[in-house]
Amino acid sequence: MLSTGHSLEYPRDYNEDLGTTHAEQCCFIKIADEYNLPEERIHEVLPANTVLYTTMEPCNERLSGNMTCATRILRLRSAIKTVYVKIKEPGTFIPHNDGQQRLEANGVKVVFPVEHWHDRIIKVSMTGH
């Protein structure tokens, strides 16, 4: 395991990146800090075929104007080729998130390995929203 992250782990507008921090962003920040690199260059230190595991489908729209998680993954120049996702993003946050489609259109495989746990994961993920 190279890094972990969860939404809101870093404060709002962290490093002048507007809005709240998402899990993928927090994970990438930690790698960037560890190697003293800007986030957009962490592909230089990630092993080939790094796999990302995330609870929710990476976003492809941010109401805050912050960079989307799909963009953050894609700018790593194919270092991440597979993303395992537990659930699609609920419409509570973004009505029609197309993060999966964008990633797949750019050569990143998106896998939903635990769809039978969907209702339980939604309940936990939506606590407090």
Q: Where are the alpha helices (DSSP H) in the chain?
A: 23-35, 69-74, 99-105, 118-125
Instruction: Answer yes or no: are the C-beta atoms of 20 and 12 closer than 8 Å.
Output: yes
Whether the model clears a pTM of 0.75, i.e. scores above it, the answer is: yes
Domains, the chain, ordered by start? 14-127 (3.40.140.10)
Is 60 exceeded by the pLDDT of residue 129? no
User: Are residues 30 and 5 in contact, defined by beta-carbon separation less than 8 angstroms?
Assistant: yes
> What dihedral angle (degrees, nearest 10) is formed by the CA atoms of 38, 41, 43, 45?
-70
pLDDT(108) > 90: yes
Q: Identify which of 119, 52, 51, 53 has the alpha carbon closest to the alpha carbon of residue 90.
A: 119
pLDDT at residue 122 is higher than 80: no
Kindly tell me if the per-residue pLDDT of 47 is higher than 70: yes
Local confidence band at 126 (pLDDT 50, 70, 90 cut-offs): low
The three-state secondary structure class of 37 is: coil
What pLDDT score does 33 carry?
Answer: 96
Q: How far is CA 123 from the centre of its chain?
A: 19
Residues 65 and 88: their CA atoms lie apart, in Å, by: 21
Cα–Cα distance measured from residue 60 to residue 96, given in angstroms and rounded to the nearest whole number:
9
